[in-house]
Structure 1
């Protein structure tokens, strides 16, 4: 058995075992090694209600990974001389205005690296979607009453709004719709023939979004709301399956050169995309922000990555450019961390496959909702040293918030009560519990 076949067998075995107890209904994993796809496979269910399995052709909502393709489109237009990265965005969208006069100072580059001072969106109107060609421009025009958080260029502050503006710039400078430009200039040359930003082109192949529910026991149920609104396409609605995401990763590992030798971007553009412009405070793996991409290190290796989360979906794309390695992971649930990617990276770098650990927080939450807090505490004592589980303090608060959001506030409060006993020194968990109970707490 050669090394690649051994790697494939290991991935199959570990991921099959992981999905037997994973909190999400469906998962797809793609692996690029030595600049070629060696693994692309779906696991679990695309829809928990219908029981349809995830396949390699199942499209997933990629959420904020969408932004990396927007940056590619902007860099293409810059190479063609249709825009300048350091020009003010009002030069390209004269109808763009904000209540804060400093909006005139915002440049294209600052939108790309999240230093524009732009606030983030709080309501994506997933429950009130718009589908028409004018929705993106209409959204940009609607920003008039808003104000900046800080002076443009001063601070890093992640903003989805900034990427909707960039999408509108792509449409206006290219003379076509944002979605058509991305399809013709990025997806088709990259041989991502089934990828799209339009839900109408993806509907019959899309995984269903799942949210946390207790309706039929602890687990995911199909969300009543699908995260689509055409005005938020640039920031969020790239739809792709696992094989296409591997092709996408290879193009970037090759610094813009596609499988058939076309150049999406020049090497010089990648030097700008992957330059660190500002510190993020997110930890070493995404310590700095480039132009859309997060820049950091993983086990001493240069790492370029982006993640995404929207209603019912999560995604993660990691590149180790100096090793010609990439891992793409996507799930049709928004309530469980995607932890398998780092274990796969470790396997690719060392040849040793660490345990794909399950979430102790989800395990105890499920136990609590069925048997109560005292039983969940006993379960924790039983498994607290079991290497098959990881335990992150912040995940308990996250799951409690998901339970509350989906109509199970009392169960969320019980989980936080449990977690406060597990982490008695955590002021964050005590504050979260107090907030859920509508109380005030002092340290």
Structure 2
């Protein structure tokens, strides 16, 4: 009996140990419920899946070239170029290929602003007018002070469509000229009351940096931000020049495919969108955000740049704005920002809890670059969220091509018809007549409809393109759009001209019309 009792106790102890082990394992999943699938699978990246994502997004977005970076902790786990930096020359994208990064530039400018605050050269609560005395805007006719902090967090009230008035130019005064386009303008809402993204907020910050330091924005950024960060392949705008690495050609959608496009120079928009870099330096930049790469920049400034303004409601996707970063709080919080220029795009995502970051650079402005970054992050971390996609350029391009395919033949017929009438006038087979009451009414109606037509075309962007002007659409929109608009205008003009020929001339042998020479009805 003692022996049986001992064996029973041993068996019971084994069961207790087994249950305890299961409880311990279960507790791991309780405390770490978001353990990434990629980590659980042995610290290996799903490379095949990632590359399928990139190729699919490039194909769907018609993106010529893309560079991809994946960083984990202090390691660059993946870095590769896809497609072409130059389609005509068949020059491939590599990790050293340079791209404009668009609005992901803002995080660099934001860091510089925080740096100047630490040095005591500015205060975030100061009104902009303290540094730029001529800077003032209004809300409902009343002048409103705007602070540096409100510019930093996009709560200034400056409207989004202010981007449409940014002038092209590469002169030394380009930045000031850009900021001066705001002076005396109307705010969308009172400062500090609401988040409303306006890219030009960061151009104002760039001018403040320039004013306070007594240096051109580009010079200060290069010496005090870019170089201390250890970014050896990053340039502040096109005017920085001296690229040691090849720059990808920029493209934009047009006539159902990517078309080489050389955008105007917007030096005045450099603080908001025109830093140039490559995948090698993006990897370094992302490690800095993960706090796994120490640089000469105070780490507290990096932390401060991740701190959003929670005094206002978040954006529609639940994110608050920091200093050049969108910040989505929570257990699975992330930092992210997209960048779009007329012929380039980028997207960076940093997930501190997962200690992961993804960067995408592309030489075409496309939401597919943003989606590729999110899908890669999800593949790496095992997340299941579906990235939202809203690429408006291709649908607009298809619509423009559709309009052209319908209107071009009609325009040709109208031109032929008008040409035949002109020819008959020259041959003496048609003659001009004096306007009678009926013809005058029809002519007035045609003129009125033509004026209404041309005004509608002129104001169409206010409805179709968020209030942005045609000059902006010409630069940013698909190349087919302005051809379609030109065709519509030409068709309208041709129709009006044809109508004039119809109203003002008759067959030479028609004796029922008023003879302009005699001013009377001819009855034969």
Deviation at 1:90, TM superposition (A): 1.0
**1:326 corresponds to 2:366:** no
Partner of 2:133: 94
Name the CA distance, whole Å, in 1 between partners of 2:108 and 2:377.
Answer: 23
Name the CA distance, whole Å, in 2 between partners of 1:160 and 1:361.
Answer: 20
The DSSP-based 3-state class of the residue aligned with 1:39 is strand
The DSSP-based 3-state class of the residue aligned with 2:348 is strand
Change (3 A) 1:322 1:6: closer
**1:136 corresponds to 2:163:** no
For structure 1, the residue ranges without an aligned partner over 5 or more in a row are 374-396, 412-443
| CA deviation profile, 1:355-394 (whole Å, cap 9, x unmatched) | 9x9999969x88x979xx9xxxxxxxxxxxxxxxxxxxxx
**1:283 corresponds to 2:317:** yes
Name the CA distance, whole Å, in 1 between partners of 2:262 and 2:295.
Answer: 43
Partner of 1:168: 207
Partner of 1:301: 332
| CA deviation profile, 1:291-328 (whole Å, cap 9, x unmatched) | 33212269x61011111112111211111112211111
Partner of 2:435: none
Partner of 1:273: 307
The DSSP-based 3-state class of the residue aligned with 2:150 is helix
**1:262 corresponds to 2:262:** no
Change (3 A) 1:143 1:336: closer
Deviation at 1:89, TM superposition (A): 1.1
Pick the structure with more helix per residue. 2
Deviation at 1:273, TM superposition (A): 3.0
Which one of the candidate residues 266, 274, 277 is aligned to 1:229? 266
Name the CA distance, whole Å, in 1 between partners of 2:113 and 2:478.
Answer: 35
> In 2, are the aligned partners of 1:202 and 1:239 still within 8 Å (CA)?
no
Name the CA distance, whole Å, in 2 between partners of 1:110 and 1:331.
Answer: 30
Deviation at 1:15, TM superposition (A): 3.5
Deviation at 1:329, TM superposition (A): 0.9
Partner of 1:27: 66
**1:405 corresponds to 2:457:** no
Name the CA distance, whole Å, in 2 between partners of 1:354 and 1:118.
Answer: 32
Which one of the candidate residues 200, 220, 228 is aligned to 2:258? 220
Deviation at 1:18, TM superposition (A): 5.6
Aligned length in residues: 374
Deviation at 1:85, TM superposition (A): 0.7
**Larger C-alpha radius of gyration, 1 or 2?**
2
> In 2, are the aligned partners of 1:102 and 1:151 still within 8 Å (CA)?
no
Deviation at 1:350, TM superposition (A): 2.0
Change (3 A) 1:3 1:403: farther
Deviation at 1:261, TM superposition (A): 4.2
What TM-score results when the alignment is normalised by the length of structure 2? 0.62
Deviation at 1:192, TM superposition (A): 1.1
Deviation at 1:82, TM superposition (A): 0.8
Name the CA distance, whole Å, in 2 between partners of 1:241 and 1:280.
Answer: 31
Name the CA distance, whole Å, in 2 between partners of 1:268 and 1:410.
Answer: 48
**1:184 corresponds to 2:184:** no
Name the CA distance, whole Å, in 1 between partners of 2:311 and 2:114.
Answer: 16
Deviation at 1:40, TM superposition (A): 1.7
Name the CA distance, whole Å, in 2 between partners of 1:21 and 1:281.
Answer: 27
Name the CA distance, whole Å, in 2 between partners of 1:351 and 1:162.
Answer: 34
Deviation at 1:181, TM superposition (A): 1.3
